[in-house]
Amino acid sequence: MTAVTIRDVAMRDGLQIEEPIDTATKLELLEAICATGVREVEVTAFVSPSKVPALADAAEICRHLHRFPDVRFSALVASVNGARRALDAGVAHLEYVVSASDAHSRANVGRDTEASAALIGDIVDAAHIADATVEVIIATAWDCPFDGPTPTGRVTRIVEQAVAAGADRIAIADTIGTTTPRRVTDLVDAVRPLIGDLPLGAHFHNTRGTGLASAYAAVQAGITRLDASVGGLGGCPFAPGASGNIATEDLVYLLRDCGIETGVDLDAAIRAGQVAIGAVGGGTGSALMRAGDRKLVGQA
């Protein structure tokens, strides 16, 4: 393991439960994120503006992405209609979310898991016709806030459906920030044999303080794609006041010491975290924002 690709998700997962902020402020945040050297950014979601007003400017945001030619941008969708809107807006990489627990799936998109998984094929077809890719993200892959622990078989079934439907990537997401290293290892081991050469990503929240430990376990298990959010944006509606996504800068700090390249500049990521916290007007922020980098060289 010598490199990990970090996808910054502050623009989508970080902002989606916040009060809406204006597009210009978002673009300043995007500028700061792209200045970190991060190679992938989840930039918005094409979902119901009434359910997620904070991301109602999705198409407008996409008009500015040409300014960052070195970054791979993706957008989240939750329906075939959303996928079409994203493709119309020029998005080249879709993320389609399927919750592995029925209760979360219904709360999130008004359909159960099976009904959501049944749409993968249509979304993949629409994307591929438009020369776009689809990553299937399996939400509540470890736990559901309503249904409790998610049986592994519910996750692997979605994985098999996604692979059969021609998905280009798979990701497993700890939507409510409950998982821990051993459970990460177990699920990665269960999923990997099913996906051939498809890239596998993982998405962790730090809600219970275990996000970085889980990310480290994922990397040990061979995961090379991790989501993270500058400033640790992305709190969970089921745990008010808790930490959000694992912070990009905290993850970079950890991986750097493990000799793992991310291409992300730590100081720039801390600055982007400050922009992120400023943009949303608060939040817990990241550990690196509070404590700063460690001293890297000894005194002569």
244 CB-near residues (< 8 Å, 6+ apart):
13, 14, 205, 206, 207, 229, 232, 233, 234, 235, 236, 283, 284
Residue nearer to a second copy on the CB measure, 98 or 289: 289
Catalytic residue, from 34, 144, 236, 258: name it: 236
Rounded to a whole number of angstroms, the minimum distance from the CB of residue 269 to a second copy is 13
Amino acid, res. 255: L
What's the gap between Cα 57 and its chain centre? 19
Please, which residue, 135 or 250, has the CB nearer to a second copy? 250
Shortest CB 55 distance to a second copy, Å? 24
Contacting positions for a second copy (CB under 8 A): 103, 143-149, 151, 176-183, 206-210, 212-213, 215-217, 236, 239, 241-243, 247, 250, 253-254, 257-259, 286-288, 290-292, 294-299
> How many CB atoms neighbour CB 255 within 10 A?
22
Those residues with Cβ within 8 angstroms of residue 274's Cβ, 6 or more apart along the chain or in another chain: 231, 289
Q: How far is the CB of 139 from a second copy (least distance, A)?
A: 15
Annotated catalytic residue 34: no
Q: Which residues of 223-232 are buried (b: 16+ CB within 10 A; e: fewer)?
A: bbbbbbbbbb
Return the number of the residue (91 or 272) whose C-beta is nearest a second copy.
272
Whichever of 131 and 257 has its CB closer to a second copy, that residue is 257
Which residues are CB-contacts of 76 (< 8 A; sequence separation ≥ 6)?
Answer: 12, 42, 44, 45, 46, 47, 94, 95, 96, 97, 137
| Distance in Å, CB of 71 to a second copy, minimum | 25
Residues noted as catalytic:
236
